[in-house]
Amino acid sequence: MKWLPWIVFAVFGFYLVGNNFNAKLGMIDDHEIAMFLGSDGKVSVDEFPKEILKTEIGQWGSYLRYRPSYYTLRVLETALWRDDARLWYLSRYLMLVVSMVLGYQIMIMYFPQIVSYLFILYIMTMPFWPDMLTRLGPSEMYALPAVLLFVYGLIKNKLWMITVGYLICVGSKENFLILLPILLGWAGFKAYIKKLSKKELI
C-alpha cells in the first residue's frame, strides 16, 4: 500500500486548503506577482534574469534580508502560473501534500504507521498553519518540503536531497541557517569514520 499515504494526505490536504482554489490574487499581498508579470502579463525567458535582478538577489547589501532561493522560485512560479490564482494555490496544495508524505516517511522509520499518521494529522492543528497555507507570499511554504527533504536525505544518506533541501531552506528564510551546524555535524561524523566522499565534501 505504498500509495496509501499519498491518498490519505491528498484528501486531508484538500480538506485543509480546498477552499483556496476559489480564492483570487490580492492587490496588496500578491503585488509582487503583478510586478514580475508587468504590462504584458507574462515572464518570458529573456525577462527571467531581469526580474530576478530586481529582487534582493540583484540588490546585494541593500536589504536587511537576502533570500536567493525564495525569489528565484517566486519568479519561476510567476513565469509558470502567471495570474491564475488556482494554479498558485494548487502548487501550495501539492507542496503541503509532499511535505506531509515526507514527514510520514520519516516518522515510520522510528514509529508504527498509525502513530505516524496521527502525529502528522496532529501537527496540522497548530495555529500558525492558516497564515502559511492561505497566502501566497510566506517563504516558509518553500522551506516546509525542503527541510523535510533535508532530514530525509540525512537519514537515507541521499546527497542530492540534502543539497536541494538545504539550499532552498537557507535561501528562503534566514532562520534555517540553524541547519548549518547539523550539516557540519553530519559531515564531521562521516569524516571521522572515513566515509566522507569528495562529492559530499564539496
| pLDDT at res. 51 | 93
Q: What is the pLDDT of residues 76-134, one digit of tens each?
A: 999 999 999 999 999 999 999 999 999 999 999 999 999 999 999 999 999 999 999 99
pLDDT at 63 over 90: no
pTM of the model: 0.93
pLDDT at 27 over 80: no
As a whole number of angstroms, the distance between CA 85 and CA 94 comes to 14
